[in-house]
Structure 1
């Protein structure tokens, strides 16, 4: 038995729109930790009160929850109050990173490149948004992940319908300039940037299905970029996480135009750990097995 971590709860499931993916992530993490001798137990906050963690003497928590209620600082705050160390970013950084609009404002303030955007509301002048951002436009809820409620809009007449779809998921909706180029994702583990992954989705559509269930989405890792260019992007990614206050581990999604200009899209502070997930793929190229990755993340659990 691996006793250095004590009694560990793997939080997964939850009540967010990303519950299905969280169940897949959590089960994979739980099995990996148990396989290397960690006293790890499944814990679904949708089915049990968090106070049970304190009552049953858990020493630390591995957060494999995705979306609201797990990745937005709320669970982190509860664990802080109970004094139980947890993986990933703290309360403030989790809440900030979950909010795509405010994340972009921080990045812009720090001189980091991110696509131009507009906040959409019921009385928005749709034609003005198109005039400002051009077409296509990417419309998405500000607080959802896994492409939930997101739409690529290619005609101005479809913009309102895209907003209505996104508004079902979130009261805050943003329209974002559509960047044409290569889609990359950049995982990090503590202060170490892991190898970038290039994503080539069928028809260029990296949506919910193609992220988690399609077998014809291609992932290139190593990504094929020159070493110097990849290192520069990794440095930018680490800075983008640092200015938000993120810690532990995470993943930053970005676009790279044909002329080499990068654009930060969003950051995930509790990324997927499923069979299709990109952090484990990158970690393998860096020499870390899935079990070693889980242990490294767990070792970084902390308070405050």
Structure 2
């Protein structure tokens, strides 16, 4: 049994849709017959406080580490898509050794999972301890998305990024 707080995520959503942090107290409204519209299965994990970090991986290269700052408990849908919902710090203001480890782990996860093209690894950093939360295999590509921001930091224009994606696209038959 997980101690609270913990995170409940729908299995078939993206962009943090349906993600809930269950605090101390009553959770019945969330899990009654009418309170959970996201299907019969969920993923539950321990809530980890700390800095929210992300690393874009392009092929076998980590582009950098971004810290995501919001006025919210986590980087939820509104923080991602509303004007002023979040502030991205590139490069993240963290210990250089932690940044190197985040990039190393991101590339390792990308390779281990057989990812191709672009992916984005999300972390929480509590003091100097990194926790890999997930790998996004279809990261956003909007003007406010994290991957184009990190590419720009790595001196890769949006056009160059898209051309690279097309040139490196593969289709399994």
**Fold-level match, TM-score > 0.5?**
yes
For the 8 Å contact 1:150–1:166, the answer to whether it is kept is: no
Q: TM-score, normalised by structure 1?
A: 0.53
In the alignment, which of 241, 249, 264 is matched to residue 132 of structure 2?
264
Give the deviation of 1:216 after TM superposition: 4.3
Alignment correspondent of 1:286: 154
Q: What secondary structure does 2:57 align onto?
A: strand
Alignment correspondent of 1:93: none
For the 8 Å contact 1:141–1:166, the answer to whether it is kept is: no
Deviates more, 1:133-142 or 1:188-197: 133-142
Deviation digits for residues 218-263 of structure 1 (CA, Å, limit 9, x no counterpart): 11001122333211111111111222111111111111111x1111
Aligned residues: 171
For the 8 Å contact 1:197–1:222, the answer to whether it is kept is: yes
Structure 1 unaligned segments of length 5 or more: list them. 1-131
Give the deviation of 1:169 after TM superposition: 1.9
In the alignment, which of 48, 56, 69 is matched to residue 179 of structure 1?
48
Q: 1:294 to 1:179 in 2, by over 3 A?
A: same
Matches within 5 A, 1:20-39: none
Structure with bigger helix share is 1
Q: 1:222 to 1:142 in 2, by over 3 A?
A: same
Alignment correspondent of 2:120: 251
Matches within 5 A, 1:30-109: none
RMSD: 1.8
Q: 1:149 to 1:203 in 2, by over 3 A?
A: closer
In the alignment, which of 26, 50, 65 is matched to residue 157 of structure 1?
26
For the 8 Å contact 1:140–1:174, the answer to whether it is kept is: yes
Q: What secondary structure does 1:194 align onto?
A: strand
1:223 corresponds to 2:122: no
Q: What secondary structure does 1:279 align onto?
A: helix
Give the deviation of 1:264 after TM superposition: 1.2
Deviation digits for residues 120-147 of structure 1 (CA, Å, limit 9, x no counterpart): xxxxxxxxxxxx3212111111231111
Structure with bigger strand share is 2
Give the deviation of 1:296 after TM superposition: 1.1
Higher Rg of the two aligned structures = 1
Q: What secondary structure does 2:72 align onto?
A: helix
For the 8 Å contact 2:18–2:38, the answer to whether it is kept is: yes
